[in-house]
Amino acid sequence: MTVSNLSSGVAVIRSYLKTAPTIAGVYRMLDRHGDVLYVGKAKHIQKRVTSYTQIGRLNNRLQRMVAATQSMVFVTTRTEAEALLLEASLIKRFKPTFNVLLKDDKSFPYILLRTDHQWPQITKHRGARKHKGHYYGPFASAGAVNRTLNTLQKVFQLRSCTDNTLESRSRVCLLYQIKRCSGPCVGKTSGDDYADMVAETRAFLEGKNTDIQKKFAASMQAASDTLEYESAAVFRDRLNALTQIQSHQTMVNAMVDEADVIAAAEVGGQVGIQVFFFRAGQNWGHRAYFPKHDKSDSLQSVLGAFITQFYDNKPAPKSILLSHTVDDQSLLAAALSERMERKVQVAVPLRGKKYLTVQEAVRNAKEAVERKLAETAGQTRLLEGVMEKFDLESPPGRIEIYDNSHIQGSNPVGAMVVAGPDGFMKNSYRKFNIKDDKLEPGDDYGMMREVLRRRFARLIKEDEDRARGHWPDLLLIDGGKGQLSAVTETLEELGVTDVPTVAISKGPDRHAGREQFHRVGKPTFTMPLNDPVLYYLQRLRDESHRFAIGTHRSRRSADVKKSPLDGVPGVGPKRKKALLHHFGSAKAVIGADVRDIESVDGISRTTAQQIYDHFHE
């Protein structure tokens, strides 16, 4: 950052003040590439933007942001609450450099109790809510859902199979035999009894498990009194299974029916956040987050930014319990209440069981940060070791690993895996379907040339001056000297001569631990078997191999599912179904004459001729 750049940025911002709105909304600061540097919200946009021209009041981070600003964009909203929600959405969309960023925001699993079938199904669900039914969650992990579903199967014995499986069964399945399903597919339960189990399941998932336990205990006692010991044993087992979930609760009873507990802790300049999910009076797990933020950001500001982004794509509970007071806390509660169309309370407990629960979450957050820092320190040492092994100028911040996969030349794909100081960067993974039809089947060198050519041609086009940090500091190629030569020649053709490249081959007898490392103009070498850097490089290579094979299998599976009738002019899903129903197979359609094809319902003479001509050029 120079004084001239800072002055230029201030001049740009001042030029936008003339047209800046004087109401609530969101503003974006853009760099010379048009990338978003920062997204902010304000009750009065013009006043907020004016503050960025007062350099003496800005910290170093904001001064760097102003110096890089080349243009601005404004969006107005009806209220400040709407601006807060829009800000969170835009931050997640554009991932601005100078905002606090929620790096890992995968969707959460739910339990779905479907109501669109005579025999409602209970299953794990993730993603869009397309099915009609009741959704319970979120759960912190798939493991938490699976444990709950396992208990529910023992207690209430609802079906978990798909509709197709249910309709095609002629005899009971294993789940019925081990008393995990009531067997509605073969008439082992009545509609009324199954409806009662559905109602009991809903009651349990809505927190009414005490009533259910009393009902099971009474039924068990009644069966025992009438000497129906087998029935009594069934209710005993269901009662025992029902208490399993309570026995696995790991936090104190917070007397909370529906709440998220969000606690933050800071260690060594890194903020960690723990989110605990309480639903139906039960702890449904927790998850740790490590938002990307500047070291000058306060813990409260990081926590506040995290919350708005966290609830951008998921429903908020009735109550959100925090470890620290955040800026605009009342505004946050109002915005979430407006979105959910019901009251959402955001509070910081100061005493009682809720306070103890929050403090337990704080302890978990601190321990998570300490583990993260220990892992980061280990990763830093490994990257320093990579620097020393390959004579790099500095530890690599971005390593790209390339591999190919095919079976005798069929369904060829290339794969790129990316790793950095924080581990694997899965959002940056890329797959390449090999498009060059001039390549000989199984030409690994040609495949590698195409992958590298496409990757770096696009990189040059989008980030030629390397200002966005997308360029690799090291290339790892799964292969030997041949692959290394192919990659080096391709990069030289594109004018890229300063990216260090290393090929890693398995060495004699393809024995793990005897890997050989090849570099242009330097002797091949190996590493000691107990070298941590060797283990790290093996892990990188194995991840690229896993990703490449997975991509290849997905493509091969898609090809297997294709029908020769796909792509035939005039044949859509309905006509395709009619043809297969009439002839029995696609092969029979190919061998049929025009008159036979024309005899199929919905197929005209013209369409029949088109189908025949497609297969008999």
Q: What is the pLDDT of residue 590?
A: 83
248-263 in b/e burial notation, b at 16+ Cβ within 10 A?
Answer: eeebeebebeebbbbb
**Residue 210 pLDDT > 70, yes or no?**
no
Q: Which fold has domain 259-371?
A: Nucleotidyltransferase; domain 5 (3.30.420)
Cα separation, 140 vs 275, whole angstroms? 9
Phi and psi (nearest 5°) for 355?
Answer: -60, -40
Domain 573-615: top CATH class: mainly alpha
C-alpha neighbours within 13 Å on the C-beta side of residue 533: 17
- Cis upstream peptide for 138 (omega within 30°): yes
Architecture of domain 399-559: 2-Layer Sandwich (3.30)
Average pLDDT of 73-91? 94
pLDDT, tens digit, for every residue of 547-585? 999 888 887 776 656 677 777 877 887 888 888 778 877
pLDDT digits (tens, 9 = 90+) for 167-205: 888 888 888 888 888 899 888 889 898 998 898 888 888
Angle between helices 329-340 and 299-310 (to 10 degrees): 10
Looking at residue 1, the DSSP 8-state letter turns out to be -
User: Is residue 473 within 8 Å of residue 466, measured between CB atoms?
Assistant: no
Segment 60-70 mean pLDDT: 92
Same CATH topology for 3-94 and 399-559: the answer is no
User: Residues 271, 291: contact at Cβ < 8 Å?
Assistant: yes
pTM of this structure? 0.75
* pLDDT number for residue 321: 96
Distance (Å, whole) CA 591 – CA 615:
9
Residue 129 has a pLDDT of 85
Quick one: pLDDT at residue 416?
94
- Token couple for 9: 């940025």
Tens of pLDDT, residue by residue over 493-521, are 999 989 999 999 986 655 666 889 999 98
Question: Which single residue is written with the structure tokens 């911040």?
Answer: 397
Would you state the structure tokens that stand for residue 559, as one six-digit string? 């090809």
Positive or negative, the Cα torsion across 526, 530, 532, 535?
positive
Most confident stretch, 230-244, 339-353, 409-423? 339-353
Percent of the chain with pLDDT over 70: 92
Question: Which of 121-125, 148-152, 527-531 shows the lowest mean pLDDT across its residues?
Answer: 148-152
Query: Which sequence spans correspond to the domains of the chain?
Result: 3-94, 110-247, 259-371, 399-559, 573-615
Could you give the dihedral angle defined by the CA atoms of residues 331, 337, 338 and 340, in that order, rounded to the nearest 10 degrees?
A: 150
Would you place residue 228 in the very low, low, confident or very high pLDDT band (cuts 50, 70, 90)?
A: confident
Task: For 3-94, give the CATH class.
Answer: alpha beta
Amino acid, single-letter form, for residue 291: P
Euclidean distance between CA atoms 264 and 594, whole angstroms:
72
Can you give the C-alpha Rg of the chain in angstroms? 31
Mean of pLDDT over the chain: 87
pLDDT (0 to 100) of residue 252? 47
